[in-house]
Chain A
Amino acid sequence: MKSENNQGEPRLRILILDDEPIVCRRLKPAFEKRGYEVETFNDSASALARLREAAFDIVITDLKMEGADGIEILTQAKKASADTRVIIITGFATLETARESYSKGAFDFVAKPFKLRDILECVKKIEDQRQATQ
């Protein structure tokens, strides 16, 4: 069950995966401040395990990691729940990787380093779309 924020609207659940802990440590409080529920992971194996047991509205994942990479996470997240929106963040942004991400169903593709504001807006866009379709 989704928890609710103080206005009674369901809070979006976000899973963040990046093998560099600083990314998770910066993103978590920024999203929590806006009332989202956030879980963070630094390795893809535990993130995948978590994706199998719980549904997330949004997955934000690094692209290049040991073990399953971002594309694999994207595929698995979509398999677990087709509604899940996936944002890929990467320091190796190329046209090719961007194209592959989009073709596999990524919602957005963000090059590192990025502004906190940009990723917050990206999530806000997803939230607005959700509200519009409900």
Chain B
Amino acid sequence: MYNVIKKLLTFPRRRKEVLPFTVLFKKFQDILENNNLILELMADMGDKLGGEYVFDRRYIEEAAEKVGDHVFKLISGLSILTQRKNVELFVAFERIRQAIQGELSGRHFLPSGNLVLPLGELSSEMSEQVGDKMAKLGDIHNRLALTTPDGFVITTQAFFEFMKQKGLLEKAEQAALHWDAGDDAAFEQVADAMQKSILSTPVPRHLSAQIFAQFDALAERMQRSQLALSIRSSGWGEGEDTSFAGQYASLLNASPDQLIDGYRQVVASAYSFKAWSYRLNKGYQEHETAMAVGCQVMVESAVSGVLHTYAPDTAEGAMVANALWGLCAPVVEGNRRTDTIIIDRTPPYVIRSSNVVEKPQRLVAAPGGGVAWEDNPVELHAVPSLSKEQLQELSQTAMRIERYYKRPQEIEWTFDSSGQLQILQTRALRFRKTHAAPKPQVLEAVRDAEIIFSDKGFVVQRGVGIGKIFMVESDADLKVFPYGAIMLVRYTSPRYSSIMHKARGIITDVGSPTGHMASLAREYRVPTIVDTEVATSLLQTGDEVTLDATQNIVYRGNISALDRFELTEDEVFEDFYEYRLLRRLLKHISPLNLLDAQNENFTPAACRTFHDITRYIHEKAVEELIHLSEKKGAQHLSAPKKLIADIPLGLMVIDAGGGTSCPPDARVVTPDQIVSLPLRDFLSGLNESGMWCTKPVDVDLGSFMASLTRTFPSSMASPKEIGRNLAVVLENYMNINMRLGYHFTIIDAYISDTINDNSIYFRFLGGVTEFIRRSRRAKFIAQVLTHFDFRVEVHGDLVIGRVKKLSRSRMTERIRILGGLVGYTRQLDTQMHSDKDVAMHVQQFLDVVHHVIGGV
């Protein structure tokens, strides 16, 4: 707190050279402009991931270069504004730029330290690094929020480091030549020798150290010192185009001391005669072989199996589950009879048939490691291994996975001894051409369908979603959002991330295809259309619709043919190399890690993405400008003009260009000479608030006005500053520093017709009453600001609110509301006797706003 006040009230730096204010202000505007360009470019790049655009590699290279250029200019701009070198920022920039170059040149691997990665950091973009199997389990765990056994992966980079020893990789390349020569016997000998060399090659010490460090971290997460593991292959291509199922080794129920040896065994299994020749047969090049190895906690399975989310050979429109008591392996290997259950693919997932077989035995983790068969209790022999509830949960989960990957899936699963469903693996099901469902022609499928609306708004994420509309109007609605519904909302908001995994689609009236919610919809691959304008007037909760976010049409009813078309498409655009590349690049560009400017980590060194740098510079530039305008840290600052107004604000106006219509050397300015859009609206809001404030404060208008000029207590300000409030204005901009009553307020606002430039920054601090009442007032302000879409941070009595990128009219409303708020809160702390008062005042304020300013 002390630091914050110190930051606000002191200005310790000395400048080498004092530049004209107009020059510095121009630089500030350049920074704003570059800032916006960068945000737009980032949004554009993110936009391309939605599937609506056709782009190529050249685009990715150019866009990455362009965004880098602007970030560089931004740092240079800040250097001029602050007249410092900002070496640390340039260093951060260079680090990020190098990472992007690395991605573009195909070096996906981070320079060091990522030989082993925990499950929590994995996603499908990392399949080159961690193999397809583990990359997908990363999605399952981190994006779909489903349960999969916790663990870590020894990456393909570790594989290459391991295999470089003793020239193992070169040996493998050589061996593949024998295969080309068609000499099977020779190839088999080479394969045997290769496996032996791998098994006898030591794992590099720094690698084994990292493996054990990850194991220790895992044991700590599990709060168990004794952990059994399953050690499984996660190779390139495995589980992707070609099913390598059963080709590679896995170790079940392994103890920690088997980790290193188990790792070598799994790696060696890539070079067994069976697996190697299979791979070469399929046309894989030797350099396309890389084996990551997943190490996950061994699950105590009660019942396990495999589910196919689509089984046209068995039954149209159905899923098929095979299940057994105990571990999953026998179901995968297919060497035991299993219960077979056929279930509808659509909610409520009715069970069509259930074939229960004799299950005399089950595979379990053996006490001394490994697995063993044991007899089932007699009463379990002939009963279904899955309950209806379990089937329901399994079906829902399976369809969530299928929706995410947009392909029928083969899912290995288990219910553990506590009844928790755990996903062990998922891979795309491929159908032989002759067995694939005939491709329905999309035109025929929709020929007779009723179109509710089409071509409204923007497609954010392509895809088809069928379900019932559920309109979300409040946080309470979010809590009861039904699984499989299509979310209908007025405005986009990142708050909806909480239901993304349940929604089959999203439709909004208002919103930007480049906002935060749009990124989330793409991340979760939820078919989404925003800014339709009409959706909430044409749709209501309960309507069954088919949202075709590929064609941008909303149909009435369930047009399942459209859905089926999506599932049988030859290729899923998200899986294309270029999409994965762009997504990986954006990881160095878009995520924002520097959220809180008050945090001590808000430093150049902490910038991990271009967005971080952009955010940092924006904050620093605004800060610099506030300092400049407060402290006259510039030459030729036009003479401050005193505002002559009904409300005695004691406001000095500095016109930095086009903000007033009076002569430059004039020493006074009247309200009708104020051209600056934000200041004009702020003053009008403040004026109107005078009327409102009579109620809660219970004073007449005259005394309210008089109180505005009340002097400050000596603890808050030096006598010189009393009654002197400052506004730096341009036609579309104001930066205002105000002390009214006992409060200190800063507003930095830019309002124009260019939506992306618009922003309001509001900061409130001060008050003389005891801390608890001041906190209530802060709470009041925070609630009001939140109501009007500000992003709000509260630290004790300090409230910071930000709102950006709304239309000019909505920005104008908000600046007027801030005028009202400043007036209303002027002496509110004296009124805040209890927490209940907060809600009362919020309501009262909103009522008056509604009455005076209208529908906001």
Contact = CB atoms under 8 A, between A and B. Distances in A.
Contacts of A22: 54-57, 576-578
Contacts of B573: 26
Interface residues of A toward B: which range? Answer: 20 to 34
A116 B569 CA distance: 16
Interface in A1-60: 5-6, 18, 20, 22-23, 25-27, 29, 32-35
Interface in B414-466: 439, 441-444
B571 interface: yes
A113 interface: yes
Nearest to B53: A113
A114 B443 contact: no
B552 interface: yes
Nearest to A91: B58
Contacts of A32: 439
Interface string B56-89: 1111001000000000000000000000000000
Contact of B59 (A34, A112, A115): A112
A113 B552 contact: no
A119 interface: yes
Contact of B56 (A6, A35, A112): A112
B556 interface: no
Given A29-B571, A117-B552, A91 B441 contact: no
Nearest to B570: A29
Interface in A48-99: 91
A63 to B, nearest CB: 12
Contacts of A27: 54
Contact of B54 (A5, A33, A35, A113): A113
A34 B446 CA distance: 12
B49 to A, nearest CB: 12
Contact of B53 (A6, A20, A35, A115): A115
B57 A35 contact: no
A76 B451 CA distance: 42
Interface residues of B toward A: which range? Answer: 20 to 34
A72 to B, nearest CB: 20
B565 interface: yes
Contact of B441 (A5, A115, A117, A119): A5
A116 B58 contact: no
Contact of A113 (B59, B565, B569, B571): B59
B620 interface: no
Interface string B560-583: 000001000111010011100000
A115 B52 contact: yes
B178 interface: no
A21 B552 CA distance: 26
Contacts of A26: 54, 573, 576
B48 interface: yes
B419 to A, nearest CB: 42
A6 B441 contact: yes
A20 B56 contact: yes
Contacts of B570: 29
Nearest to B59: A113
Contacts of A20: 56-58
A128 B52 CA distance: 23
Contacts of B577: 22
A105 B441 CA distance: 32
A9 to B, nearest CB: 11
A5 B444 CA distance: 11
B48 A113 contact: yes
B58 A25 contact: no
A117 B570 CA distance: 19
Interface string A94-134: 00000000000000000011111101000000000000000
Q: Which of B54, B439, B552, B576 has the largest number of chain A CB atoms within 10 A? A: B54
Interface in B10-66: 48, 52-59, 62
A115 B570 CA distance: 20
A117 B469 CA distance: 26
Given A22-B577, A22-B578, A25-B576, A34 B443 contact: yes
Q: Which of A22, A29, A34, A91 has the largest number of chain B CB atoms within 10 A? A: A22
Contacts of B444: 6
Contacts of B443: 34-35
Contacts of A25: 571, 576
A35 B447 CA distance: 14
A91 B54 contact: no
Contacts of A113: 48, 53-56, 59
B59 A91 contact: yes
A29 B568 CA distance: 11
A119 B55 CA distance: 13
A97 to B, nearest CB: 15
Interface in B750-796: none
A99 B577 CA distance: 33
Contacts of A18: 56
A26 B55 CA distance: 9
A114 B571 contact: no
Contacts of A6: 441, 444
Q: Which of A18, A26, A114, A115 has the largest number of chain B CB atoms within 10 A? A: A26
A22 B571 CA distance: 11
B831 to A, nearest CB: 55
Contacts of A23: 54, 56
A124 to B, nearest CB: 12
Q: Which of B53, B552, B570 has the largest number of chain A CB atoms within 10 A? A: B53
Given A20-B56, A91-B59, A119-B54, 18 more contacts: A5-B441, A18-B56, A22-B54, A22-B576, A26-B54, A26-B573, A29-B569, A33-B442, A33-B565, A34-B443, A112-B56, A113-B48, A113-B53, A113-B56, A115-B53, A116-B53, A116-B54, A117-B52
29 contacts: A5-B441, A6-B441, A6-B444, A18-B56, A20-B57, A22-B55, A22-B57, A22-B577, A22-B578, A23-B54, A26-B576, A32-B439, A33-B441, A91-B59, A91-B62, A112-B55, A112-B56, A112-B59, A113-B48, A113-B53, A113-B54, A113-B55, A113-B56, A113-B59, A114-B53, A114-B54, A115-B54, A116-B52, A117-B552
Interface of A: 5-6, 18, 20, 22-23, 25-27, 29, 32-35, 91, 112-117, 119
